[in-house]
């Protein structure tokens, strides 16, 4: 009102008042029309957004990945049928397990072993290209033949995880999806945070919300012992001086596991794997690319510590690791919570799964030379400061006592099996090793 009065009584030029007033009225009419048009557009825009947005893009779905996944292959009766069939328990006292990273090295072996003994197994894997994805596809094809379906998706996709738990009341989760490799962390640090931290939290969120809550067994790493010098490494030793971001994310995973156990009553068992090797292994690991490069006649870098110090690893054969994983699943207690609420204290465990006999890297090369019948071109180099530690050695007394874990394969026997597989897969199979 005051505003109007002020305008009405303020002619700019004498004699022009009347005309100015009608011009002002026209102006007001125009501005009202403009406002009306503007708000109509806003309103229509809101209606458009409301009706045409994907139903899966509601607030609990965090990323484009989630939207894409639900729109495309996930969902529908055929998908649910495949998921249910794969997770179906076929033995008395069997368990139903969601295996993350099922197309990976350890994941594919564990999935196959569970399926063989009649457990229900559903895999999930994002098939990323950290190493040759065709090897992951070949593992997938093998599992497919034994009735294990691997859903192609990321553990960061909470809508997908929720959907899987809605379809199957998994009793257990075997969490093996991770960004592995100690040296690659300097090249791509965020992939470690994405998979080993954000992915783990996302998975634990899905597990804690599930009803019933599953029991979780997951892969930690020998690298958490970092720069420790006291050997063999025991679970009671300090783990607060990691030498790589990989190790730091695995250590963080152990603390995150503690939190979810404490707040939500999730039963959690972390397994500290010691340099796992064997058939269908990871091409980024030394024993694997040494084999490839020895056969190609390329030189191989062999690390040594200061003053010609030996670099050694407690190399552990895949079958021994698989037995440890299954024993951890079988001895784990149930989670105590339901639908996000803790009902009582739950089990929280961590075990070393190693071989207990460290072997110098130069000896590993000698074994490969004999098996391949080719002399290696050795290029001895100083251990780079990019994540490697000088040695690892597991004390496995806890796993022995509580899981009945007893490794039986020495490095020579295990590498023989690896080389047989390698030659069959790459040389006879005429595939190119990348």
Which one of 124, 311, 368, 396 is in contact with ligand UGB (CB under 6 A)? 311
What is the Cα–Cα distance from 52 to 41, expressed in whole angstroms? 16
What is the Cα–Cα distance from 309 to 289, expressed in whole angstroms? 23
Site for ligand UGB contains 285 (CB under 6 A): yes
Residue window 69-108: x/- pattern of binding to ligand UGB, with contact defined by CB under 6 A: ----------------------------------------
Site for ligand UGB contains 221 (CB under 6 A): yes
Site for ligand UGB contains 393 (CB under 6 A): no
Nearer to ligand UGB among residue 250 and residue 342 (C-beta): 250
Site for ligand UGB contains 302 (CB under 6 A): yes
Which one of 301, 357, 372, 374 is in contact with ligand UGB (CB under 6 A)? 301
**Region of 120-128, 133-141, 298-306, 424-432 interacting with ligand UGB (CB under 6 A):** 298-306
The bridge status of strand 377-382 relative to strand 316-317 is unpaired
Q: Which of 246, 264, 277, 317 is catalytic?
A: 246
Nearer to ligand UGB among residue 56 and residue 108 (C-beta): 108
Contact 173, 304 (CB under 8 A): no
Site for ligand UGB contains 388 (CB under 6 A): yes
CB-based closest residue to ligand UGB:
221
Could you tell me the smallest distance in angstroms from the CB atom of residue 234 to ligand UGB?
A: 16
Site for ligand UGB contains 243 (CB under 6 A): no
Site for ligand UGB contains 182 (CB under 6 A): yes
**What separation, in Å, do the N-terminal and C-terminal C-alpha atoms of the chain show?**
79
Which one of 101, 107, 153, 181 is in contact with ligand UGB (CB under 6 A)? 181
Question: 246 catalytic, yes or no?
Answer: yes
Which one of 124, 286, 318, 321 is in contact with ligand UGB (CB under 6 A)? 286
Return the half-sphere exposure (C-beta side, CA atoms, 13 A cut-off) of residue 130.
Answer: 29
Site for ligand UGB contains 313 (CB under 6 A): yes
Could you tell me the smallest distance in angstroms from the CB atom of residue 386 to ligand UGB?
A: 10
- Judged by CB under 6 A, the number of residues near ligand UGB is 18
Residue window 53-72: x/- pattern of binding to ligand UGB, with contact defined by CB under 6 A: --------------------
Contacting ligand UGB within 255-284 (CB under 6 A): 273-275
Could you tell me the smallest distance in angstroms from the CB atom of residue 136 to ligand UGB?
A: 16
Could you tell me the smallest distance in angstroms from the CB atom of residue 131 to ligand UGB?
A: 11
Residues near ligand UGB (CB under 6 A): 180-182, 221-223, 273-275, 285-286, 301-303, 311, 313, 361, 388
Among all residues, which ones are annotated catalytic? 246
């Amino acid at each position: 009102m005051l505003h109007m009065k002020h305008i009405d009584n303020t002619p700019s030029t004498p004699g022009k008042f009347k005309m100015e007033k009608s011009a002002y009225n026209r102006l007001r009419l125009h501005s009202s029309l403009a406002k009306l048009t503007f708000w109509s557009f806003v309103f229509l825009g809101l209606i458009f957004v409301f009706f045409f947005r994907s139903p899966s893009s509601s607030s609990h779905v965090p990323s484009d990945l989630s939207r894409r996944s639900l729109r495309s292959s996930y969902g529908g009766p055929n998908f649910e049928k495949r998921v249910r069939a794969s997770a179906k328990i076929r033995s008395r006292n069997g368990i139903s397990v969601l295996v993350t990273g099922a197309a990976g090295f350890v994941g594919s072996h564990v999935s196959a072993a569970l399926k063989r003994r009649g457990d229900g197994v559903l895999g999930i894997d994002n098939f990323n290209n950290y190493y040759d994805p065709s090897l992951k596809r070949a593992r997938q094809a093998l599992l497919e033949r034994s009735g294990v379906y691997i859903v192609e998706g990321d553990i960061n996709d909470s809508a997908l995880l929720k959907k899987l738990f809605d379809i199957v009341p998994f009793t257990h989760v075997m969490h093996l999806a991770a960004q592995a490799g100690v040296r690659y962390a300097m090249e791509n640090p965020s992939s470690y945070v994405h998979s080993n931290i954000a992915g783990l939290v996302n998975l634990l969120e899905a597990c804690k919300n599930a009803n019933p809550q599953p029991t979780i067994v997951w892969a930690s790493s020998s690298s958490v012992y970092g720069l420790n010098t006291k050997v063999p490494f025991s679970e009671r030793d300090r783990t607060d001086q990691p030498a790589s971001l990989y190790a730091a994310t695995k250590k963080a995973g152990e603390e995150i596991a503690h939190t979810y156990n404490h707040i939500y009553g999730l039963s959690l068992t972390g397994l500290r794997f010691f340099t796992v090797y064997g058939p269908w292994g990871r091409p980024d690991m030394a024993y694997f690319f040494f084999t490839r490069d020895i056969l190609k006649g390329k030189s191989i870098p062999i690390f040594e510590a200061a003053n010609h110090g030996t670099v050694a690893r407690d190399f552990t054969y895949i079958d021994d690791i698989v037995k440890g994983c299954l024993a951890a699943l079988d001895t784990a207690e149930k989670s105590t919570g339901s639908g996000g609420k803790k009902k009582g204290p739950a089990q929280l465990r961590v075990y070393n799964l190693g071989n207990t006999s460290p072997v110098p890297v130069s000896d590993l090369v000698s074994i490969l030379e004999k098996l391949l019948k080719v002399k290696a071109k050795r290029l001895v180099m100083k251990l780079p400061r990019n994540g490697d530690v000088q040695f690892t050695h597991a004390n496995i007394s806890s796993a022995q006592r509580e899981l009945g874990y007893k490794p039986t394969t020495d490095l020579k026997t295990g590498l023989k099996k690896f080389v047989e597989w390698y030659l069959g897969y790459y040389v006879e199979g005429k595939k190119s090793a990348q």
